[in-house]
Amino acid sequence: MSDTEATQVTHRIDIAAPADAVYRVVSDVSLWPLYFPPTVRAERTRGDDSDEHIRIWAVAHGEVRTWESRRRLDPAARTVRFDQTRPADPVAEMGGRWEVRARGDQACTVVLDHHYRAVGDDPSALARITEAVETNSTSELAHLRLAAERAGAERDLLLDFSDTEVISGKAGDVYDFLYDAAKWPDRIPHVVRLDLKENVTGLQYMEMDTRAPDGSVHTTVSGRVCVPHRQIVYKQTKLPPVLRAHNGEWLVEDAADGTVRVTARHQVLLDPEGIAALPAPPASLQAARDAVQHSLGSNSRATLARARAFAEAH
């Protein structure tokens, strides 16, 4: 261990929502991919509601990174202490604490502390870590406030839907088609351009241009976590103005009859301000919901059809 003192930083934000509601989001990491833009995937690997080990996959500096942490939760004090047990280079040490301080029944302050060191105490690495902590902490707190203050409207803003294709082929071929996204511009008509970076096998960062039915081209940026031959979880980090969040999953499953079931799942949070700012906004929130589901679902079904043709041709 180095004798160099760890860097310590604090971020805080005031939220017009009950402290217990805010603490619920902080304490339940399964909600983080929906509410925190950098987080692609998060899960508890072992433990319980007071002492748990978690694994997080998140976008930082144009790539997907993963680490494991231990968290000690105190619901009565509304605090969560965390320490990375397997930091990812260039992080040598990372820890901190969430604290939700009540300010009456309908308001609170969230304080997020970090302490960290770089591998070899390298100054340039430390600067990168500091920038990532600053960017992600500011973003997480801002989106935590959005989630908590709009909790009452979430039912109307949240979409969760899926499409499934049954394929007479091998699961490995289907997975390979979905995994090798760099070839999509040659394989999927609505994909115009795709740049993919994969510094660690299975952790992908990609920028994609897709053409809509009206001929317009839209750019999205996504982080993807790939589990060989089974699952690809992704998170869009650059979104169209009508969305606050878009998470997705490709799930590949062998069926008992020898076929392969492939499911494309979407979880979306609409942005009411972004919808209202459109040149020709939908007539109602339901119309916006229908339009978003149709657009995302159509692209997924087109990709599934191409995956089916690819697998069955093999």
pLDDT digits (tens, 9 = 90+) for 254-287: 999 999 999 999 999 999 999 999 999 999 999 9
* Mean pLDDT within 216-238: 94
pLDDT band at 3 (very low <50, low <70, confident <90, very high): low
Whether residue 49 is predicted with pLDDT greater than 90 in this model: the reply is yes
Whether residue 2 is predicted with pLDDT greater than 60 in this model: the reply is no
Q: What is the pLDDT of residue 229?
A: 94
% of the chain with per-residue pLDDT over 90: 86
* Mean pLDDT within 97-116: 97
* Mean pLDDT within 248-252: 98
Strands, DSSP E only, in the chain? Answer: 7-15, 39-47, 51-60, 63-74, 79-86, 91-102, 108-118, 158-167, 191-200, 203-211, 217-227, 231-238, 243-254, 260-270
State the pTM of this model: 0.88
Task: Decide which of 214 and 66 is more confident.
Answer: 66
133-152 pLDDT, tens digit per residue, is 998 899 899 999 998 998 87
Q: What is the pLDDT of residue 1?
A: 47
Q: What is the pLDDT of residue 43?
A: 95
* Mean pLDDT within 101-117: 97
* Mean pLDDT within 69-73: 97
Burial class (CB in 10 A: 0-12, 13-18, 19+), 46: exposed
How far apart are alpha carbons 213 and 190 in whole angstroms?
9
How far apart are alpha carbons 250 and 233 in whole angstroms?
6
Whether residue 74 is predicted with pLDDT greater than 90 in this model: the reply is yes
Q: What is the pLDDT of residue 240?
A: 87
CA distances in angstroms from 103 to 76, 132, 306, listed in the order given: 15, 29, 54
* Mean pLDDT within 34-57: 94
* Mean pLDDT within 104-133: 95
Please give the torsion angle defined by the CA atoms of residues 160, 30, 157 and 261, in that order, rounded to the nearest 10 degrees: -10
Whether residue 99 is predicted with pLDDT greater than 50 in this model: the reply is yes
Q: What is the pLDDT of residue 93?
A: 95
Instruction: Using DSSP bridges, classify how beta strands 231-238 and 243-254 pair: parallel, antiparallel or unpaired.
Output: antiparallel
For residue 44, how many other CB atoms are within 10 A of its CB? 15
CA distances in angstroms from 265 to 38, 105, 162, listed in the order given: 19, 37, 4
The answer to whether the CB of 209 falls within 8 A of the CB of 219 is: yes
pLDDT band at 39 (very low <50, low <70, confident <90, very high): very high
For residue 103, give the DSSP letter: -
